[in-house]
Structure 1
Amino acid sequence: MRHDDRPRRTAGALVLGAAVLPLLAACGVGDDVVVCPAIMQASTLEVRLADSWPDREAFDVAVDCPPGAGSCGLIRAGSVQLVPAPDAPPITDLSGGAAPSVAAPSDGSADAPAAPSPPTVTGPVWTGSVFSAPSEVVVTVVRSSTGDVALDRVVEVDWQAASPDGRGCPGPQRATVVLDAE
């Protein structure tokens, strides 16, 4: 004897139709529908001292999130170094050969490389990335030789589409802040 599951299939089709119909109406079926890729794209921020700063190469620019904003995810270009774990297998390059490993030899020999330290990135230009573009950032300018703070202020960031696609999809943004000498 065969069990008839048509009522259950009909109910499932009605539920699916009820869920999809509002989505289709919201998308404007029949209109020009734009489908944007669902990917995270990093935006680029550059904060630099204007050429008019006296002795501009003697200063370091630091950029951070405004107080109370939590972490806005600013990452200075060149400040992150990926290092494989000491016990990681060698990385294989695309040609099929083994790439040189930065892991210390397991025999404890003197040829073991020193533990890597994070790179130091300084200078009159701060360039970095962020996934959620903040409307303002804190900029601190410090004299490299003494550590004296020359400027510490919150600045507004005017984000612009880095490569507008013409379809209205959000994409990466780019902003440049130039600090004039005071």
Structure 2
Amino acid sequence: MDYEMHKKDKYADPSPYPEVQVLSPNLYYASLLMDDYAGLVSEFTAISQYLYHYFFFKLIDKNLGELLENVAITEMHHMEIIAATVKKLGGNPIIAGSYSTCGNFWNGSFVYYGVQLCDRLKADIDSEYKAIAGYQKHIRMISDPYVQAILRRIILDEKIHIRLFNEALLKFCGCTYKPLN
């Protein structure tokens, strides 16, 4: 699969995505990645949250709307890459987490809906930090160098998203944000 084809230049790190491959099937690794795929803090949650915020932000400012829309598209690429990795590991990428959801299907309560623009942007930044922390944890738990490379590459995009969201927060709210943890 050519993941570069749909990459949004301003919204993703310029480095290429590694080829999706694994050393060997591993259902434990697949189950860990299911939380990144459709768990409480996951690509599916980020996509849903950013699209919801986009519906409001595009009415406030065209560029702010484009930011949320394009970050959501980048997260869709991450979700597709993780799904392909889960499949190579022998798993089944249904829309469910593993440990964070006790194996239950994803649901809309995972999204931070918010009311105010500034609170929504802070929640979006917080989501990116939590995603990075989850990926870093999984990099430590997974000894497959191919899977580690995929997660490290996704983290690069998440860092871009934090920067872009903080730029928007500064423009519209007069501040930047970094969670305490």
TM-score range, shorter chain: under 0.3
Normalized against structure 1, the TM-score is what? Answer: 0.21
Identify the structure with the greater strand proportion.
1
Structure having the higher helix fraction is: 2
User: Bigger radius of gyration, 1 or 2?
Assistant: 1
- Output the TM-score relative to the length of structure 2: 0.21
